[in-house]
A and B are shown apart, each in its own frame.
Chain A
Amino acid sequence: MYRRLLINIYQVRNGLIHTRLPSTKCKERESFAPVIWAPCTARPLGTSSISFSENKESSTSLSEDKEKRPEENEAKEEVNTDGQKSTEMNECTEISNATLASQLETETVDKPEDSKQVEKTKSGKESLLELLGAMKVEVTTVRKIRPSKTPRISVSADQEPMESAHSMFQHATAEGSQQHGTLNPALVAAVSAAASTLPNRHQAESELLKQLRKHEAVPDTQRRADGQNIGHIIADMKVGRRTNGRSNARPTSQIRFDDDDGKGYTQDRGITGELDAVRRRKSPFTSKRLNIFTAGMEQDTLSDLGLTLWDIDLANQIVQATNQTPRNGFEEMIQWTKDGKLWQYPINNEAGLEEEASVPFHEHVFLEKHLDESFPRQGPVRHFMELVITGLAKNHQLTVQQKKEHIDWFRDYFRQKDDVLKEAEA
C-alpha cells in the first residue's frame, strides 16, 4: 500500500493538473491531521503494532506528499500557463487523486475503530487523554492553517514523523512544568465541561488543562526549529523545480508520438513555445541597431519636391501588384465612388453643386432687385418681367449668375427695342 501510495504521489507530482486543487488540498489536510497525529498519542499507550505501522506508513508517505506539494504547485502553474491541457493526463491525475482520497478516507475510517479497540483495553483516564490529544491537534492545526497558509504548515507536518512520537511526548511532559502557555478560554471551558462528567472532577480538570498546555507548547518548540527547516524545504523546492522541467517534457513528447491527429504537435509547440517565450526576450527583431540615425531627426524641407512622376509611378506599381477586384457589390460601389461615377453616400441632393453652396436662397427667390431703373416702372414690359422673375424664382436648374444673365438679356433686348416700344406707347 505504501508503494502504491507513493506511486500515486509520483504520478500526481509529475503531471498534476489540479483544476480544483485548493479544495482538495484542504480536504486532504483535514483528513491528514488525525492520521498524522494519531501515532503520537497512540504509541506511548502501546497500541497494536499493526495499526501503528499502518499509520506511520501513511503519515510518512503523506509527509512526503507535503514535501512535494510546492513542486506540485509549480507543475500546476507551468501546465496552466501552457493553456493546453492534455485530457489524458488530466484523467490520470484525477484517478490518482481519487485513489489517494479514497485511501485516505479508508484510513480515517479505520482510525476510530483502532482507537476504540485501544479504549477497550486501556483505562478510562488514558483514553480520555488520548481523545483530548486528538481534539487538541485539531485545534492547533486549525489555528495554524487559518492565519497564514505558509510553508509552516508543511513544516509542522513535516517534522512530526522525524521527531518520534515518543520523544515528543517527553518534550511535552518536560515542558509541562513551565506552564507559561495561556490557553484559549473556550478550551478551558470545554475542559471543565468535560471534567464535570467525570467522577473526580477537579483532578480530571487540572490534568486535562496540563495536557492541553503540553500540546500548546509543542508547536512552540517546532516553531523554533522552523528557521533551519525552512531552509531545507526551500532547497527541496529548488531541486524539485529543476527535475520538474525535465520530467514534464518527457510525457508530452510521448503523447506526441501516440497522437494521430497532430494534437501532440500543437502541445509540444505549446511547451516549446513557452520555452521560446522565455528565450525570446531577445528576439532578433529587438536586437541592437546600427546607430546611424538619431531618432528625433527633423527632415529638411528642401527634400520635399511634391508629387513627381516617380511617385505616381510608384503608386501605379503598387496598384498593379495588389488585387483591386471587388469581392462584392458594395466594394464595387466603393470603387465607383472613388472614380466619381456614383452618387456619394450619405445621399446629398446638392452633390455637385458646390459653387452654389455659399449662395443663400433669397438670392435665388427674390429677384425684384434686379428689375431696377433700367426697366419701366409699370406697363406691359414691367408686367412681363415680373412674370419672368417669378419663373426664374421657381427654377432650380439655374444658378443665380445664370438667372442674372437671363434678366440682363431681357434688359438688353428691351433696350434695343426701345423705339418700337415707344412707338407702341407701351
Chain B
Amino acid sequence: MASSCSQALRRHVCKSCTILQMHVSFFFIFIFFSEEIVIPKKKTWSKEAVLQALASTVSRDPTASDYRLQDDPYLTPKTSSEFKLFSLSQESGKNAAKYFINTYPKYFQKDYAQPHIPCLMPETLEAQIEEVSEAALIERIHMRKVEAAVDLYDQLQQAGTPVSLDVTNQLLDLICFYGDSDPAQENVPKQRSEETEDVQDEPQTKKGRASKASDQLKAAWKENNNAERIFALLSEPNTHSYSALIRGMVKYCAYSKAFSTYTDLLNNRLKADVNTFNALITAAPEVKEKYNEKWELIVDLLKEMAEQKVKPNLLTLNAVLKALRHCGTLGKSQAFPVISEMKALSIDPSLASYNHLLNIFYKPGAPFLGQTGILQEVMNEVSGKSFTPQDPDDGICLLLQRCLLTKDIEQAYRVHELLGVGENWRLLGKDLQQNIYYARFFSLLCMMENIDVMLKWYRDLVPSVYYPSSNIMRDLLQALDTDNRLDLIPQIWKDIKQLGHANRQKLVEDLLTLMAREKQNQEVQESFAECALDIKKMYDTGDRGKVIMSWTATSLSDIISVLLAAQRRQDAWEILKLFKTHNRVPSEELLNKFLMCIMESGEVNHAVELVQISAGFCLPETPKLIQRVQQEFQLSEQQKNILSDLEIQTFNSD
C-alpha cells in the first residue's frame, strides 16, 4: 500500500518536474524572442494599494447614514438642517483645533510620534529670519506674506543687495496672485449661508464661484501697484516675470492691460508660456465687442501659440470653450472643431469641457428646439469613462441640469450611472452641489417616472444621501396622485415628519387635500384618519411650543372630511369646534356632509348642535339645515324649540 503510494507520488513528482522543465524552456524561448519584457524581482506597491483594494469591496448601504455621521448614533442627523449643522460643526471643530495649534505652537512641541508626523506639528506662522537677506525674502514668500515680502524687497534694493531673478519672479507671482494685498487668513472659519431649500436653476453660478468673483471685484488691479513697480525695476524680465504679471492682470480684471503687456513681451523678443496664453484666452472675450472679433482674437492667440511652439494643455481647451460661450452663434459652429483640434493633440476633454460645450448650446432660459442631440452626443462620449478632476469646473451636476431641462429621464439615468464609474463620485462636489444634484434628479424622477420606480429610488437615496426639500416632497405627492397611489400617503407623512417638513404649511395642506379628495377603501381610510389626527397634533404643538402653522378653513374641512370618511365622528366633532376657536368659517358643503354623517348615526343632539354652530357663523345655508334636521330627526320638545328659535333668528338677520 505504502509502496504503491510512494510510487504514485514519485510518478506525480516526475510529471510535474517535466511540466516545470517545459515551462522553463518555454520561458527561455519567450525571453529569447522578446527581449523587452522585464520581469521585476520585486513588485513595490504604493502605500495606498492595500487600502484601495479593501475600499473597493465596500459599497454603499442605503439604510445607513453617511460615513462621517456615524460616530454618534444619537447625533445622526435626520433633517437637512441638522445635517448642515453636523457637518459644519465637524469642519469648524477641525479648524478650531488647527487654529489653536498654530496660534500657540509652544504648547504643542512634544513629538510623541515615531516616526515623526509633520502634519500634526504646529505650522510656523512667524518669520524666523530677522536680518535683511534674500533668504528672509524667500521665507516670507513661502509664508505668503505679501506686504512683508515687498517691504523686505525694497530694503534689499536700498541696501544695494542684488536679488536673483528667480526670487524676484516668485515675489511677482505672490504679489500678482494676491492682487497686492495680504491674503485673508485661512483659518478664520467661513460662515456659509447656503440656501438649500430653493434651488434655482441658475446657470453655473455656484455659490462658491459667485463669492469668489465678488472677492476679485473688490480687489481690482491698481494702477502702478507693487507688481508693476517691481517689474519695472527688473533689468531683464523673462517669460516667467511676464507670465506672472499677465496672469495677475487677468485675474484682477485688467484685461486690456494684460494684452498690452503681452505686446510688450513680444517686442522684447520673448516667448510666452502656456499659462500666459490660457490667461489671455480667458480675457479675450472681454476686450472685444463683436462676436467674430472675439473669435478672431482667440484664433490669433492660438496661432501665436503654434508659432512659438507652445503646446496647449487641457486648460487651454477649457479656456477656449469658456470664451466661446460669449461668442454667440459662432460658439456653436466653432466648439467642435476646437475639441477635435485638441483631440488631435491628444488632449482629452474633461468634464469641464463638456460642461462648457453644453453651456454653449443651451442658453439658460431660452427654449431649445431639437437640441437634445448635443446632450446625447455628450453622454455618448462621456458615459462609462472615469474622470479625474483636472479643472475646477469639472462637475457632473450640470449634465443633470440639462437633462432636467430636456426632461430626458434616460440621459439622467446615464448621468447617474456615470456617477458610479470609478472615482467620478468625487466630481459631484461638496454637500451643496450634491444636494442640488439629487434635488434635480428627484424632481425629474417625480415628473417622468412611474411611482414604483420612483419609490425605489426614494428608498435607496433618502435619507442616506439626500434629505429632500419640502418642494421635492410636494413633487412626490403629485407623483403619488398621478399614479393613483394615495394609499402610500401615511407612509410618506412619517418621512415628512422625520425630515422636519411637518411644519411646512403648504406641504401639509397639499397632503390633507389629497387625502380628503376621494373616498378610499376602509383600511386606507382608517390610516388616513390616523394620519390626519397626527397632522392635527402638529398644528397644536409647533416647534418648541411655538405654533408655526395656522389652521385654514380648507385644512380644517379637509381633516374633517377625512375623519368622517373613516367614521370618526367624535374626532371630527372636536375639529369642527376648532372652526370657532380659530375664527374660520366652514363651508356649506362640509356641514351638509357632516349632517349626513350624523343622520347615519342618528345622534340628535349633535345635529342640533351643528345647526347652532352654523347659525353662529350666520351661514346662508342655516335655514335649509334647520329644515332638514326638523324633517329627518326625531326631535324632543326642547330641541324643537331651539330649532324654531334659530329659525326665527336667521330669518330676522336676513
Binding site for B on A (CB under 8 A): 261-262, 265-266, 269, 283-295, 297-300, 302-303, 305, 308-310, 313-314, 317-318, 320-334, 337-341, 344-346, 351-353
Closest beta carbon of chain A to B445's beta carbon, Å: 13
Report B-chain residues with C-beta under 8 Å of the C-beta of A325: 66-68
Report A-chain residues with C-beta under 8 Å of the C-beta of B115: 351-353
Select which of A269, A286, A299, A322 is within 8 A of B340 by beta carbon: A286
- Quick check: A300 and B392 within 8 Å, CB to CB? no
Report B-chain residues with C-beta under 8 Å of the C-beta of A286: 340
Q: Does B135 belong to the interface (CB within 8 Å)?
A: no
> Which partner residue on chain A sits nearest B430 by CB separation?
A323
> Which partner residue on chain A sits nearest B390 by CB separation?
A318
Most interface-central of A297, A303, A328, A338 (chain B CB within 10 A): A303
- Quick check: B377 and A285 within 8 Å, CB to CB? yes
- Quick check: B344 and A303 within 8 Å, CB to CB? no
What 1/0 mask marks residues of chain B from 361 to 404 whose CB sits below 8 Å from any chain A CB? 00000000000001001001100000001111111000000000
Report A-chain residues with C-beta under 8 Å of the C-beta of B340: 285-289
Complex-state Cα separation, A265 to B413, whole angstroms: 14
- Quick check: A323 and B60 within 8 Å, CB to CB? no
- Quick check: A300 and B177 within 8 Å, CB to CB? no
Binding site for A on B (CB under 8 A): 45, 47-52, 54-55, 58, 60, 66-68, 114-120, 170, 173-174, 177, 208, 239-240, 243-244, 247, 271, 273-275, 299, 302-303, 305-306, 308-312, 334, 336-341, 343-346, 374, 377, 380-381, 389-395, 410, 425-430, 433-434, 450
Complex-state Cα separation, A340 to B111, whole angstroms: 14
Between A and B, 7 residue pairs with Cβ closer than 8 Å are A290-B302, A305-B239, A309-B177, A321-B392, A322-B389, A324-B426, A331-B67
- Quick check: A300 and B271 within 8 Å, CB to CB? yes
Report A-chain residues with C-beta under 8 Å of the C-beta of B303: 292
- Quick check: A293 and B344 within 8 Å, CB to CB? yes
- Quick check: A340 and B374 within 8 Å, CB to CB? no
Report B-chain residues with C-beta under 8 Å of the C-beta of A291: 341
- Quick check: A340 and B51 within 8 Å, CB to CB? no
Report A-chain residues with C-beta under 8 Å of the C-beta of B240: 305
Report B-chain residues with C-beta under 8 Å of the C-beta of A324: 426
The answer to whether A340 and B173 touch (CB under 8 A), given A295-B345, A300-B310, is no
- Quick check: B51 and A333 within 8 Å, CB to CB? yes
- Quick check: B120 and A341 within 8 Å, CB to CB? yes
Report A-chain residues with C-beta under 8 Å of the C-beta of B273: 302-303, 305
Complex-state Cα separation, A298 to B306, whole angstroms: 10
Select which of B309, B377, B392 is within 8 A of A283 by beta carbon: B377
Complex-state Cα separation, A338 to B434, whole angstroms: 25
The answer to whether A326 and B68 touch (CB under 8 A), given A290-B299, A340-B117, is yes
Select which of A297, A314, A329, A346 is within 8 A of B306 by beta carbon: A297
- Quick check: A321 and B389 within 8 Å, CB to CB? yes
Complex-state Cα separation, A310 to B244, whole angstroms: 9
- Quick check: A299 and B311 within 8 Å, CB to CB? yes
- Quick check: A338 and B173 within 8 Å, CB to CB? no
Report A-chain residues with C-beta under 8 Å of the C-beta of B54: 330
Report B-chain residues with C-beta under 8 Å of the C-beta of A302: 239, 271, 273
- Quick check: A308 and B55 within 8 Å, CB to CB? no
- Quick check: A292 and B341 within 8 Å, CB to CB? yes
Complex-state Cα separation, A15 to B170, whole angstroms: 73
- Quick check: B177 and A293 within 8 Å, CB to CB? no
Report A-chain residues with C-beta under 8 Å of the C-beta of B393: 321
The answer to whether A298 and B68 touch (CB under 8 A), given A318-B394, A352-B114, is no
> Which partner residue on chain B sits nearest A327 by CB separation?
B67
Select which of A262, A293, A346 is within 8 A of B341 by beta carbon: A293
Select which of B47, B274, B302, B308 is within 8 A of A337 by beta carbon: B47
Report B-chain residues with C-beta under 8 Å of the C-beta of A341: 117, 119-120
